[in-house]
Amino acid sequence: MSPEPPSQTPSESPADVPTVLVHDSRGRQLLCFLEQLIPLDGHDYVLLTPVDTPVCLFRLDDDEDPELIDTIDATEPILSVADVVLQEHDLTLVRSAVTLTVSGELDEPEELDDDEDADDDSETYELLVSFLVDEREYGLYIPLDPFFVVARMDGNGAVLVEGEEFERVQPRIEAELEEREGDD
């Protein structure tokens, strides 16, 4: 019997799923579970999910919708305050490749109110923690939609697929995954 490609099923424990260390162009790392292996153009591309919980930073304002802060320097004072708040919950903020992540035992996060939910095709988040910096409120939210990372295998690790390479392979990877789902 030949081994099946790795996939995550509800009956598998995370320890059963292989992990891969991903590096980005800035040298940051992210430990991920290997979900799918997709050979393309002589390279092995992989679809991964982070081992630690991905989080997104939002600026919160009572008068406006929460504003996603998608680029933030790792030394930004906001993240230092987030570090302290998370430590109170025995959690650690990790400035990793691709996204910020939180490691540690998570409690159930608070759900967003229904009136805060935007369009049906927008992502949904749950509040993990909120905090104040210079009298402005910020929140770290957990995305409820699966968070996937696309990388190219390189030796024992993987390199994050970014820029033009991502634009080129992403539609082909999606097509391959749809074909695999159709075969199941």
Domain positions in the chain: 14-50+146-183, 53-143
At 7, which amino acid appears? S
Most confident of 10-24, 47-61, 122-136: 47-61
What pLDDT, on a 0 to 100 scale, did the predictor assign at position 118?
A: 42
Could you read off the pLDDT of 82-116 as tens digits, one per residue? 999 999 999 999 988 888 999 988 765 555 444 44
Indicate if the pLDDT at residue 141 is higher than 80: yes
In angstroms, the CA 83 to CA 19 distance is 26
Q: How confident is the model at residue 29 (pLDDT cuts 50, 70, 90)?
A: very high
Task: Give 151's pLDDT tier (boundaries 50, 70, 90).
Answer: very high
Instruction: Report the b/e string of 125-154 with b at 16+ CB within 10 A.
Output: bebbbebeeeeeebbbbbeeeebbbbbbbe
Compute the average pLDDT of residues 8-12.
43
Q: What's the predicted TM-score (pTM) here?
A: 0.76
Q: What is the pLDDT of residue 123?
A: 63
